[in-house]
Amino acid sequence: MPCKPSKAKRLLKEGKAKVINRMPFTIKLIFGSSGYKQPVIVGMDTGSKVIGCAAIANNQVVYQSEIQIRQDVSKKMQVRKNYRRTRRGRKTRYRPARWANRASMKKKGRLAPSIKSKVESHLREKVFVESLLPVTEWIVETASFDIHKINNPNVNGKSYQDGNQKGFYNIKAYILSRDNYKCQSRQKVEHSKKLNVHHIVFRSKGGTNTPDNLITLCENCHKNLHAGKFKLKTGKSRTKHAAELGIVKSQLKNYWDFKETFGYETKYFREQILKLDKTHYLDAVAICGQADVKLLDKIFHKKHIPSGDYQLTKGKRSEKKIPTGKLFGLRKFDLIRTSKAVGFIKGKRSSGYFALMDIFNNTLTASVNVKKDCQRLTARTTTIIQEMAIPPLP
């Protein structure tokens, strides 16, 4: 394992094996064997955006992949919330509000949907690898981030005790001093002398009391902001993914036993022993800890997507229908082969001319006639896979 393509072809032709997966192409013997299984070590590089995974058997990489994790869950949940709220106002406005008594909101150990999706993405890859290979040992790289050092790279030693809020009675006094006791809205209005500390992301929408989420506004601008007369530009958090990965790490330990390793060990082994570049799948190879390892010349790129498209119409008054189901027997994200390209369906037209893309959302062709020139290779699933060749190392 792995066997050569010629041997696999012979076993299938003689009826001694059967195909159990097409990508990666995997066969299973259907006759009695000795039962010997060589040890298979699998390394996983956890992440908040991309997961790296690699399996090694007999000092040879037999499987390696990079998985793009969904980043749109929170946004989609917000859109769904808005649809539900407006529908409730139209249909059942007599009903009392009951959003605060949901059982799921009070459940002990509850995870936010976006974090839950990322935890399940790691577990999904674990189950997939174990369905193909007799895994002997899992080695997972976990990370602990220094949030203070991310915000201030120069912090060291005793300076950890000298935070930004040292010397201030409370966080409100710190925010006013940080903003020089001036309104930060930059609106061309008459600013009042009375100042307020405002949450950029409201507490009702998950905002926190951290300094990054607080800003100084005068009373006039504060009232105008809550009245919807202008909006504040919100910056991206520098610690969002670090905090998410910390939660993912703690959750994974609840699901299966694995050997834990850390980023500095992976970096040393990859750079000093294997002499490899920095990528997620090569990090996973280094995590396995095999010195004389033969690399694989291909990688499986994966992307987790929603199970379906549910928006039926678009336009200000929903005047244009969107073909969300099958059109000419094909759905969005089906993998098809045409004379122009092999790729995933990106856009569908009722004329039969579809747009194709690769797994990285790059357009391969903007128009191909699927009525005359099409062969479906795989149907849409929540994980789309594309095999790519790796250029040889210099």
* CA angle, residues 180, 184, 187, in degrees to nearest 5: 140
pLDDT of residue 235: 64
Task: Provide the CA 163 distance to its chain's centre, in angstroms.
Answer: 32
pLDDT in tens, 236-278: 666 778 888 888 988 999 999 999 999 899 999 999 999 999 9
Model-level pTM?
A: 0.81
Domains of the chain: 37-71+112-149+240-304 (3.30.420.10), 162-226 (no CATH), 313-381 (2.30.30)
Q: What is the C-alpha to C-alpha distance for residues 83 and 7, in angstroms, rounded to an integer?
A: 56
User: What is the per-residue pLDDT for 55?
Assistant: 96
Give pLDDT < 50 ranges for the chain.
none
Q: How many whole angstroms separate alpha carbon 383 and alpha carbon 68?
A: 10
| pLDDT value of residue 294 | 92
Q: What confidence score (pLDDT) does residue 309 get?
A: 83
Per-residue model confidence (pLDDT) at position 44: 96
User: How does pLDDT run across 191-217, given as a tens digit for each residue?
Assistant: 888 999 998 878 766 677 888 888 999
Task: Tell me the H-state helices in the chain.
Answer: 5-13, 73-91, 103-106, 113-132, 147-151, 171-178, 219-226, 240-252, 263-268, 280-287
Percent of the chain at pLDDT exceeding 90: 53
pLDDT at 384: 94
The CA distance from 119 to 123, in Å, is 7
Place of tokens 């059967």: 18
Rounded-to-integer distance, Cα 196 and Cα 373, Å: 64
User: What is the reported pLDDT for 112?
Assistant: 87
Joined tokens for residue 156: 């060291």
In whole angstroms, give the CA distance from residue 170 to residue 339.
67
CA distance 234 to 229: 16
Determine the distance from the C-alpha atom of residue 378 to the mean position of all C-alpha atoms in its chain, rounded to a whole number.
22
Which two three-digit tokens encode residue 46? 């956890």
Give residue-wise pLDDT tens across range 45-69: 999 999 999 999 999 999 999 999 9
Pairwise CA distance, residues 76 & 127, whole Å? 26
Q: Strand 298-304 to strand 259-261: parallel, antiparallel, or no bridges (unpaired)?
A: unpaired
Phi, psi of 335 (to 5 degrees): -90, 120
